[in-house]
Structure 1
Amino acid sequence: MTTFIARRLAIGLVMLLALSVLVFVLLRLAPGDPIDAYINPSAPLSAEALAALRARLGLDAPLPVQYLGWLRAALTGDLGFSTQRAGVPVLPLVLERIGPTILLMAAGLAIAIVAGISAGILSAVRRNSAADVGLSVLAFTGISSPAFLTALLGLYFFSVRLGWAPSGSMTTPGAAFSVPDLLHHLVLPAVILSIGHAALIMRYMRASLLEVLNQDYVRTARAKGVREFWVIVKHAVRNALLPVITLIGSTIGVAVGGAIFIESVFNWPGMGLLLVSAVSDRDYPVIMGATLVIGAAVIVVNLLTDITYAAVDPRIRVS
């Protein structure tokens, strides 16, 4: 197991390094000049002052040298300063946004896991029934619906038309913090975030459980007179969960993308909203810092998923 974890950790670090290189290069290839973010448009600089500022920021060096300089500083925890928030370091700015994003993603994924697994079991046990057909239609609808469209429709119907949920933010402006108020703001964006993931988990759980139900050991358990409930719960579901565990781990990265749209629509003060505003403002240090933290979080979650999968199925450790 130690060798397995070390190998997966090494792969994760290589992936994180590759991600930082890719984002750094893409930002430099984007239209415009990074130096523009440091210049006040109403007070243009002379050519000499502009060259001096470029040299002070290291933007006159070749691209590989710029990247190595950024990487050297990042390894010490220095991600630079925001260009749009004077004197604000990137790392504290990014870290203070992690909590709201983790809360939103955890709530959304928890709803998706419970709803998806439950619906998948029901759909497989009641195969070809009206419940199976209805759940399958809902699942295909959820999978094919873009996150931004679902968010806008949910906002319109449940906030604007029905008034059941707040239209944005994490808490009520001007009100004292309270858990009920937080949950009131959290429910709608978390449910919307969970829709696509719940649908995907439901389809995987259904297919996996149907395959397991056809195995010999399940038929043997039934032949021995074991009640159908225990055949499903004890013998079938446990083995059917193996591929679903892998799917749940892989959905974390997809959930980050969905969270960006959800946070933008509902003005949720998390990493997604920070990243969108940074891209809009061409705040390169914040974009790099937020991308690095998000990438590291996804890699850690995938590593934990691999460890969980290996603990459940020891054959994975030698593959």
Structure 2
Amino acid sequence: MLTYLLRRVGIGLLMLVALTVLVFILLRLAPGDPVTAYINPSVPMSPEAIEALRVRLGLDQPLPLQYFAWLSAAVTGDFGYSIQRGGAAVLPLVFDRIGPTLLLMAAGLTIAIIVGVATGIISAVRRNSATDVGLSVVASLGISSPAFLTALLGLYFFAVQLRIAPSGGMLTPGAPFSIGDLLAHLILPASLLAIGHAALIMRYMRSSLLEVLNQDYVRTARAKGVKEFWVIVKHATRNALLPVITLIGSTIGVAIGGAIFLESVFNWPGMGLLLVNAVNARDYPVIMCATLVIGACVILVNLLTDITYAAVDPRIQVS
């Protein structure tokens, strides 16, 4: 296990380096001059002053040298300073936004797992019934609905028309902090984030459980007189969960993408909103640091998923 973990960590570090190289190149290939992000448009600057700024920022160097200069500083924890936020240090700024994003993702994925697994079991147990058909249709709609469309429609109907949920933010401005206020702001974006993932988990759970229910050991348990409830819960569901666990781990990256849209629509003060604002403002230090942190979270979750898979199924040997 230790050898496996060390090897996965090494591969993860190489993947992070490759990710930063890709993002760095894409930022430099984007239209416009990076120097313009540092210039106040209301203050005229001479070409000589602009060139001096370019030299001071190291933007006159070849791209490989620029990247290695950034990387050498990043490994020491120095990710530079935000252009958009008055020279604030980037790393504390990004870390301040991790908590709200993790809260939103954890709530959304928790709802998705509970709803997806439960409806998948119901759909498999009542195969070809009206309930199964209805749940399958709903799941197909959930899978095919883009995150931004779901977010906008949910905001319009539940916050604007029905007024049963706040229209944005994480807390009510000016109000004292309370768990109830936080949950009131969290429930709508978390539920919208869960829709697509719950639908996908439901489909996987249904398919996996149907396959398990046809196995010999399940028929043997029924022949011994075990009640159907315990056959489903104790004998079938645990084995059916194995591919679902892998799916849940792989959807973390997709959940991050959906969270970016949701945070923008609901003005949720997380990593997604920070990243979108940084892209709009060409705030390169924040973009690089936020991308690195998000990539590290995805790699860590995938590693934990593999370990969980091995723990659930003793037949799996990590190597």
Q: TM-score, normalised by structure 1?
A: 0.98
Deviations 1:250-307 (CA, angstroms, capped at 9, x unpaired): 1110000000110111111111111111111111111111111111111111111111
Letter in 1 for 2:50: L
C-alpha deviation, 1:43, in angstroms: 2.1
Equivalence for 2:218: 218
Q: What's the counterpart of residue 263 of structure 2?
A: 263
* 1:67-216 matches, cutoff 5 A: 67-216=67-216
Distance 2:313 2:25 in 1: 40
Kept after mapping to 2: 8 A contact 1:150/1:192: yes
Aligned match of 1:62? 62
CA distance in 1, matches of 2:62, 2:309: 44
* 1:278–1:284 CA contact under 8 A, matched in 2: yes
For the Cα contact (< 8 Å) 1:147–1:193, is it kept in 2?
yes
Question: What secondary structure does 1:44 align onto?
Answer: coil
Deviation at 1:165, TM superposition (A): 0.3
Query: Is 1:16 matched with 2:20?
Result: no
Taking structure 1 as reference, are residues 18 and 300 closer, same or farther at Cα in structure 2, changes over 3 Å only? same
Please state whether the residue corresponding to 2:246 is helix, strand or coil. helix
Assess if the C-alpha contact under 8 Å between 1:275 and 1:286 holds in 2: yes
* One-letter code aligned to 1:115: V
Q: Give the distance between the partners of 2:172 and 2:309, measured in 1 at CA.
A: 41
- For the 8 Å contact 1:142–1:195, the answer to whether it is kept is yes
State the partner residue of 1:49: 49
Note if contact 1:5-1:307 (Cα within 8 Å) is conserved in structure 2: no
Answer yes or no: is the 8 Å Cα contact 1:108–1:193 preserved in 2.
yes
Alpha-carbon distance in 1 for matches of 2:198, 2:77: 36
Shift, 1:317, TM fit? 3.2
Residue 216 of structure 1 and its aligned partner are, at CA, apart by 0.8
Give the residue type in structure 1 aligned to 2:37.
A
User: What is residue 228 of structure 2 aligned with on the other side?
Assistant: 228
In the alignment, structure 1 residue 304 sits paired with structure 2 residue 311 = no
Alpha-carbon deviation of 1:318? 4.8
* Counterpart-to-counterpart distance in 2, 1:172 and 1:217: 54
Structure 1: 5+ residue stretches without partners: none
CA distance in 1, matches of 2:171, 2:201: 30
- For 2:203, the aligned partner's letter is R
Moved over 4 A (4+): none
d(CA) in 1 for partners of 2:257, 2:199: 17
What is the CA distance between 1:58 and its match in structure 2? 0.9
Q: What are the ranges of 5 or more consecutive residues in structure 2 without an aligned counterpart?
A: none
Q: Give the deviation of 1:315 after TM superposition.
A: 4.6
* Distance in 1, Cα, partners of 2:7 & 2:206: 32
How far apart in 2 are the matches of 1:277 and 1:166?
22
Q: Which moved more, 1:44-53 or 1:11-20?
A: 44-53
By how many angstroms is 1:314 displaced?
4.5
Flag the 1:97–1:76 CA change in 2: closer, same or farther, 3 A. Answer: same
Q: Secondary structure at the match of 1:212?
A: helix
Tell me, in whole angstroms, the C-alpha distance in 1 between the residues paired with 2:211 and 2:8: 29
Q: What amino acid is the match of 1:317?
A: Q
Deviations 1:230-262 (A, max 9, x none): 111111000000010010011110000000110
Whole-angstrom distance in 1 between the partners of 2:45 and 2:11: 45
Partner secondary structure for residue 317 of structure 2: helix
Aligned residues: 319
| Contact 2:310–2:318 (8 Å) recurs in 1 | no
Structure 1 residue 45, shift from structure 2 partner: 2.2
Q: Distance in 1 between matches of 2:207 and 2:5?
A: 29
> Is contact 1:142–1:199 with CA below 8 Å preserved after alignment?
yes
**How many Å separate the matches in 2 of 1:26 and 1:125?**
49
